[in-house]
Chain A
Amino acid sequence: MSGESAWGAADLGVRHGATMFLDGVTLPAPAGQVTGVVGGDGSGKTTLARCLAGALAPDSGEVRRPPKARAGYLPASSGIYPDLTVTENLDFRATGYGMSRQAARERAAEYLDRAGLAPAAGRLAGQLSGGMRRKLAVIAAMLHRPELLILDEPTTGVDPVSRSGLWWLIARAAAEGCAIVLATSYLDEAERCASVLVLDAGVPLATGTPQEIVAAMPGAMYEVPARPDGDLAARTWRRGGRWRIWDPEAGPGAGPDSQRLLPDLADAVTVAALRRELAGAPS
């Protein structure tokens, strides 16, 4: 990764008592690209986001981030004041960032317009729909053009129309050179990121570009119409109403080619989780 703008985390460890919330997690966050952190509830996404944002000090490892005034952080919940209007929220945030009112207003107007929030500018933030609130919170986090923007599940529970507006904001920030770290539990969203870190129970499960993660999947994958029994069941999962089987031994040309499928990111991540499960890791 490029050395000059290397925000990110190296070999992070976060523990609470005997439980490791993060263990050996490294995440470079290059400028001008979206780096995805993918995992379900309890995977460590939020812990990593909080470390990057400076909200939590790790027990080991190193975090490189710009000073607070040049970073933006969207926590998993809220990030806005429900009793202020949309405009007041952004004015308040701009003051906190030390921006001129004029510059802040101009930028806010453009973002609000493009995110479809302009008609709601005078409404109380607490009265907005979930998707609109999330867009407002992302605008508030990127208003000062941060060098590093940490977004913890910006699109969870957000409808597809609002999600499209959110992704416009994210693309805009990246196009302006911002390094973006985006936590999500959805793999179709991870596929929109330039590179991805998959976390499971605080441990890295896979890392690289979506293409690299797919290419690194060992063995091969088959699709069958009915769920197989016996030993195969542990290497089988449901996808698109059919069943996929992972064969760890298969090399090129092995097995019935008619059923062989090229994996995508979701398959590769599922196989990584299966391998961990088969190896007897606690779930």
Chain B
Amino acid sequence: MTGPQPGSGAGALAEAIAATRRFGHFTAVRGVSLRVGPGEIVGLLGANGAGKTTLIRMLLGLIGTSSGHVALFGEPPSRAVRTRLGYVPQGLGLYDDLTGAENMSFTDAAFRTHSPALPGQLRPRELVGSLPLGLQRRVAFAQALAHRPELLILDEPTSGVDPLGRARLWETIGEAAAQGTGVLVTTHYMEEAGECDRLVIMADGSVVAEGTAREIIGSRLAVVVESAAWAEAFSAMESAGLGVALAGRGLRVPGADPAAVRRVLDEAGLSATVREAPATLEERFFELVSQGAAVEAGAGGSR
């Protein structure tokens, strides 16, 4: 057993403190602090180019920091400490031309472990490339978890998986966390964000929000418009410069003033119900990343 090392946040499995990474004149990650503790599932959200991948590459020690500090298990990232983590990339990282069992023994050799055999339902004797994607994903998870990593890094872990399959994969992730494994998940999907204990949202290289989904949404609202003439309502609000989005048989305008929405609809001669509802995490996310620059300038994100 290896305990936390002195000089770093006690017990942090992965930690960034004011980490910055520049490429020439471009700053990909700007003063980001992030911590993943034992048994904790942390979701890392951001648009493309927000700096998530650069941050993870720094945490893994694949690239250095320009300033600030990163640590894995309280030590500078290195090949040796990397053996204590499991990683499932979006492309799954399996060898298609090997069977599931052969992939497994390959990992065992790399990590010097003796993994339990893959269960029969994962079809361990078949070439990975010939398995359905859902099974391939479960083999990749089994492989990443086989050496009982202390930290698990997952990139879009359930992309393309049906809802029941997604719940099952999250059971596996949750079981690992319950046994003390820390988990860092990058995702574009708010359904996955809902499975995390804590979220970190990045925009333009900086952290723009942090907390549970409920904390991040806060008291934000969206205006919900229901009208038989939704298409006309959409066009009218659109022309009025309202950021309107389609939702089922209705429309949503995040952060808008209901009176202003009402006025636009009245002027267009459209009958509709207009009410306010709590914003979704996706709506709040979009607001945060669009105003990323303003937050950075110190304008703050809450009202």
Interface residues of A (CB under 8 A from B): 32-34, 39-43, 129-131, 156-164, 167-168, 170-172, 174-177, 185-188, 191-194, 200, 209-210, 227, 237-241, 266, 269-270, 273-274, 277
Cα distance A32–B171 in the bound complex, in angstroms: 39
Cα distance A164–B190 in the bound complex, in angstroms: 13
Partner of A164, one of B41, B195, B286: B286
Question: When A42-B132, A185-B160, A186-B189 are in contact, do A270 and B167 touch as well, CB less than 8 Å?
Answer: yes
For A193, the chain B residues whose CB sits under 8 A away are: 248
For B248, the chain A residues whose CB sits under 8 A away are: 191-194, 209-210
Partner of A194, one of B47, B170, B249, B285: B249
Interface residues of B (CB under 8 A from A): 41, 45-49, 90, 132-134, 156, 159-168, 170-171, 174, 188-191, 194-197, 230-231, 234-235, 238, 244-249, 280, 282, 285-286, 289-290
Cα distance A210–B197 in the bound complex, in angstroms: 28
Closest residue to B169 on the A side, CB-wise?
Answer: A238
Partner of A270, one of B163, B230, B282: B163
Partner of B160, one of A40, A174, A241: A40
B188 to chain A, nearest CB (A): 5
A106 to chain B, nearest CB (A): 17
Cα distance A203–B282 in the bound complex, in angstroms: 31
Question: Which are the 10 A-B pairs with shortest beta-carbon distances?
Answer: A40-B162, A171-B246, A237-B167, A273-B164, A41-B133, A175-B231, A161-B47, A159-B47, A159-B48, A175-B234
For B163, the chain A residues whose CB sits under 8 A away are: 40, 187, 266, 269-270, 273
For B280, the chain A residues whose CB sits under 8 A away are: 188
Closest residue to B188 on the A side, CB-wise?
Answer: A159
Q: Are A273 and B162 in contact (CB under 8 A)?
A: yes
For A34, the chain B residues whose CB sits under 8 A away are: 246
Cα distance A242–B230 in the bound complex, in angstroms: 37
Q: Are A41 and B132 in contact (CB under 8 A)?
A: yes
Q: Are A177 and B231 in contact (CB under 8 A)?
A: yes
For B196, the chain A residues whose CB sits under 8 A away are: 241
For A175, the chain B residues whose CB sits under 8 A away are: 230-231, 234-235
